[in-house]
Structure 1
Amino acid sequence: MMKAIASPNNIDHLALLKFKESISSDPYGILFSWNTSIHFCNWHGITCNSALQRVTTLNLEGYKLKGFISPHIANLSYLTNFNLDNNNLYGKIPQELGRLSRLKQLYIGNNSLEGEIPTNLTACTHLEVLYLLGNNLIGKIPVQIGSFQKLRSLNVGKNKLTGGIPAFMGNVSSLIYLSVIMNNLEGDIPQQICNLKSLASVFVSVNNLTGTFPSCLYNMSSLTKISASANQFNDSLSPNMFHTLPNLQLLLLGGNRLSGPIPPSIINASIISSFDIGGNYFSGQVPNMSKLQYLYRLSLQKNNLGDNSIKDLEFLKSLVNCSKLQILSISYNNFGGYLPNSIGNLSSKLSQLYLGGNQISGEIPVTLGNLVDLTLLMMEDNFIGGIIPTTFGKFHKMQKLELGTNMLSGEIGAFIGNLSQLFMLGVGQNMLEGNIPPNIGNCQKLQQLDLFQNNLTGAIPLEVFNLSSLTNFLDLTQNSLSGSIPAEVGNLKNLNFLSMSDNHLTGHIPGTIGECIMLENLYLEGNSLQGIIPSSLASVKNLRALDLSRNHLSGPIPNGLQNLSYLQYFNISFNMLEGEVPTEGVFQNASGLVVTGNSMLCGGISKLHLPPCTIRGKKLAKHHKFILVTVIVSVIACLLILSIILIIYWTRKRGKKPSFDSPTIDQLAKVSYQSLHNGTDGFSTTNLIGSGSFSSVYKGTLESEDKVVAIKVLNLQRKGAHKSFIVECNALKNIKHRNLVPILTCCSSTDYKGQEFKALIFEYMKNGSLEQWLHPGTLSAENPRTLSLDQRLNIIIDIASALHYLHHECEQSIIHCDLKPGNVLLDDDMVAHVSDFGMTRLLSTINGTTSKQTSTTGIKGTVGYAPPEYGVGSEVSMNGDVYSFGILMLEILTGIRPTDESFEDGQNLRNFVENSLPDNVLQILDASSLKQRQPIVEEENSLNLTPTVENCLVSLFNIGLACSVESPKERLNMENVTRELSKIKGAFLSGKINGK
């Protein structure tokens, strides 16, 4: 019997259907058109040969498809272009792709593919482009790669490849572009690479390559781009190398061990646009660069250039001809001499100028103000004197201005008010005098203000304290500032570091300082402050260091300070304090507590060696006894009255019809059903913005206030919905925190059909849920949302602060029970707010036992986020919330759901991250978080991360792992988490600001 022979067209059709079956998630619905109603040649992403009706191109780049690459693709025998770049594909590259004999272009970069590079791809003898960038491929670069005779472009960067660059690469005679960046490659660059006479671009950055550059590379006139930064190359560069590289546009050699002089032949590199040799051991003078008219970026920082002589900076005059120059860094070398006036004639496009860490003297040229496009000017740590030129007032685009540790004199000048875009100003450790100009209040974006160690006088302008943008630090230490600390200091609610020490400040410490809730370091020592230590300081929960020494403070030490769990250093020495020293918290640690010079203090721990607090005579003892008896009698009387009230209440309630409403709900103001019905257009589906197990959420308007709100309507047909309503009310009615969604009011009524109706009304969060930002496939392809690395860190800290508050700062500790991206909402400023307390449990201790109030039984969170112990019947706990937070942290950083279908055979998000640290932290980081960064090499944004920021990322991932360990007892608590996150944020800001 003869077998039926499938037609070629049918083979292609079936192969495409098999590919569709291998895709488990298609967020943009791209494959919806792949159905039998239209011919497969008209399917989205498919191009066919018009005569044969065979598939020649399959292009589905950038659609966030999840799944694996079906081996049936190999049946598309006429395929020439295969592009699945920028998706979420996993699994191995099918060996069967080697059967695509007509294939010319294979793009499968920026996915999560694993395994080794298939050796039989070499059977694709017509292959011209092989693009595997940004996967998890392992093993060595196959030596068989040398058999690709038509290959023009090879990119295997950002993987986990080991071994070296194979010498057989020299056999790929048609190769024009080669990239192996960000792998774990070792050894030398093989000499055979010089056989590639058409080679134009070589990218080998961020590996462990050693040795010297093959000298034959200098004779390859075809080369236009060389990127070899962040390796371990040594030796020096050939003096004549640029004579034979006339087409070179890009040379990146930063972060190696290269030494010797900069080749003087660089003057012949007339079309070079980016030259970076920072972080090496180059020495000598910088040669003339006057012919480099296309130079965009020149980075010479962190070398041994110059010899502290007046001729060191002469090369700056030659840069005047470089009209396209935008970034110039010569910081941290041995340059001496004066800045020439011609510096003001540099490119009008110059945006970043780094001059810090040298031996530069003289005055700041007035002409520097001509560079009106500057956004960053770093001149710190030199010997520059004179005044700050008033021409700096032209810097309308300036964001970061650092002039600290110099010899500047005169006044700061009113010009500072013109710098409205400024977010960092540093003039510390100079000899500036006069008042702080009040118009500094115009700098409404200022996050960091450093005026440390100058001769500034007068009162601190109120405008400084009205800069609510100040978040990093405000340092006014060691000046001659006078007057009092105004109550407006409480406006600095998000400030992390505040120092006004060693000035001439007088008056009281204002109680409003307790409103600086994010403050971690407060230094007020060495002034003439008087009065008591305000008890409101106990509200600054994140405080770690507090120094009030060398003032005239009196009265007792507030007991509330011993409840500051993060406080590790407290200095109150040399004041006039009196009374008993507390013994808890920081007062238990003699090494972190300084109380000397207060003769009227007593008690405390024995290591302080203070006298005991004695009782003054028997009368005092009797008085205390009388007070004690009075208090006991009063308490008993109150309890009797309370008991009578409760008896009356319960007697009356027994005669009433049972109700699901809790008495605590009545404490919330209520709105009518009619008001909510009108404000949502009759609960129209066009206003529906979310739904859950027990409720639907609508966007609406409160008629009484004309205010947009979110209205959570309970589905009372669902079992447990009534209790969910009650518990959420009980949880939210008395809690208030900037990172919790505040409840505005509620509605407990009947609808127009006479049926019971319950709803909660919250502030409307314009930016929706974190779920929508982490997984934008749920939105339209035309409106993608991405979160920067900074935003992700801030969101993590916001969520941690909310959990810390719920667990440790509420009168009744609260367990959220359902922390996940969908329950984190983002306001207009991208501040995160934890929401949905329908599963919440309230913990209260009565007679020594812990009781729990809960909305439901048997429901303990969401799959993927709920801790493993809940699955075996364990009670909910704070440790369970910590586990959910840890998983959520990992999801925020990687952009991968814990329930991702790519996790198989016991693999999960946690061990995926754990197995990738610390070496591959950049590969597991969600690539979209780096899109706003300036690339060092034109194809790789992530290379701009400084080592400090990379270390911060590793620390963040480790916190997520420590929170999500299997054993509940081994998990961190939220106090430790918030403490560590605060340290990481400080290091991150420092690494980001100082990174070049």
Structure 2
Amino acid sequence: MDCVVLLFYFSFFTFSSSALNLDFWHPHHINNHYSNTIDRHSTGDLPNHSHSFFQDNNFGGPLPKIIGNLSTHLSQLAMAGNLISGKIPTELGNLVNLIFLSMEDNLLTDVIPESFSKFQKMQELFLKINKLSGEIPAAILGNLSQLSLLDLSDNLLVGKIPSTIGNCKMLQGVDFSMNNLSGAIPTELLGLSSLSILLNLSHNSLSGNLPPEVGLLQNIERLDISENHLSGGIPTKIGDCLSLEYLFLEGNSLDGNIPSSLSSLKGLLQLDLSRNNLSGSIPHELQNISALEWFNVSFNNLGGEVPLLGIFQNASRVSLTGNDRLCGGVAKLNLRICPPKDVKKRKHHSHRKLIIIIFSIAFLLLLSFILTVIIYKIMRKRQRKASTDSTIGKLPKVSYQELHHATDGFSVQNLIGTGGVGFVYKGRLNSEERVVAIKVLSLQKKGAHKSFIAECNAFRNIRHRNLVKIITCCSSVDHKGNDFKAIVYEFMTNGSLEEWLHQNAELQRTLTLEERLEIVFGIASALHYLHHDCEKPIVHCDLKPSNVLLDDDMVAHVSDFGIARLVSTIDGNSNNQTSSMGIKGTIGYTPPEYGMDSQLSTEGDMYSFGILLLEMLTGRRPTDEMFKDGYNLHNYVKIAFPNNILEIVDATLLSMENDHVAVTTEVAIHLHPNVERCLSSLLKIGLSCSVESPRERINIKEVITELNIILKALADPRG
């Protein structure tokens, strides 16, 4: 397109300020459906107008540098909803009088230019839904003191949120969601009392505590910090946010009690604290929030009596799943009955008497206790000398003899699982005074003693609520003088996902759709942590149902992560985690490229995840007899997708949906549309992960985004 045509388009989309109708997150769109490419080689000055709009017209290609030659009097420029690609020209910063700039929903890449710091009059800046990368330039936020609305969501931005955002004293709305920002939430951001519309930091990798300065946001209407890695307690100061209507903190690792100060938020409409580690009881004061329409605290560690009034009277507006210690509430919540309060008082008095008795005789037993401890330490010291050094570094001390005793001599009665690299036994360690799972590696190669323990130390420091915790490791010799290596894990009382999908079906025990969805989300969260949040990315290499364990609350915990790297230390190959080693997964779950001596990769884990998801939804193992001669589980689902999915979905899963099934006959099954959409979306994720080409598989970040959408849709009481 030559310069004359370019000038025509800029003139055609010029309007007076009186014609504007700008909304916060959706600026006024002027759509004429042109499909052209802006000529990067045109020269000359562009028209002198105060407002230029060419939105939703399918303009494509990179922006030409001559855009910086637009009149310096230009105050508003809208380019949203096109196909503009490439980097943002530095020359755009020459338009120093801009107060409004919208470039959202394009294909822009590279970093945000430092020249944006010239926009000292800028009031509204929208760059969302692009592929912008790099960090948010601190200099830009430091200079845009007039900024009121800022949206950088749904990009590829990394790094910390600059503290210079505190200079933007007129900010009313900020959206940094759907990026990969990390680090702590700056107190300078929370100290902006001007924030009144929105603060959205969701779907990032922010860590640390939620600062008490959040209470300074007294005018904010919507606060969303969900799906991050926040820890610590919810500050009581959050009760000072008196204008808050929507509060979303789900999908973090927050702990402690739910603060009763939330009851001060009289205008609160929706509160979501699900999928955290919160404990204690639900504050009864929350029933006094008359405006509350949705309350979700599912999958925490809450207990005690559920309130009876307010929002808690409507079971369809409250989600308490995954908190087995809760009791009471309205009948439709189907919770256990709480013990009478007078019984609690009697128990309290009994406990006090028992404590007095214990303290009374404690002094008489003190000498005996000290003597017992001394004898025990002497025996432990002799026991350690009798065996090879069992541990090194930070791990608790455990010997072969202790593990042998804990499992009754590794008896068959205590054998709870077998795998390609060893056997798993149930045992009780005297030193830990708890039941544990002990994986004994069936590899007898000598050497790499210290490197094996070093790897165990590294993995023991890897913590995530959806990973099985490694308690310790043992590298010693058995009673025959052979090398002995074992890993001690925490024990999961509800067994493996494999048992629930297949073996428990015979006992008429199966998983509901909601439980399966939460398990899938837990597995995905664990993979995201291993792939992106560890110091070095960890490839699981053998993801399958038998390596997904379930705790008392049916929360998924992925086991055997990093087992390939641990085994490689025994082979003397500890410096190359992703090399072509002997351990490359299990038949049916292993990606096709591993069969061609490809290196282990996160894309390989995504394939295994996709197959596991399809198995959870269809009830069919990838090694089923029907899959042969190139016909596999992926193809089985693909043929039925999307029109005939009910023909392949696990029949036991459909029968569990009693609350949603309207009609069930031999001819057809009619599900609630919300449930069927959920199943279709999950199958689509499984197919996208298990395609043959590694490059075409979606990554774990995209998976978690989709699963969050499905979770909210399924939990929506409006269906």
Which is bigger in relative contact order (C-alpha 8 A, separation at least 6)?
2
TM-score (norm 1): 0.34
TM-score (norm 2): 0.47
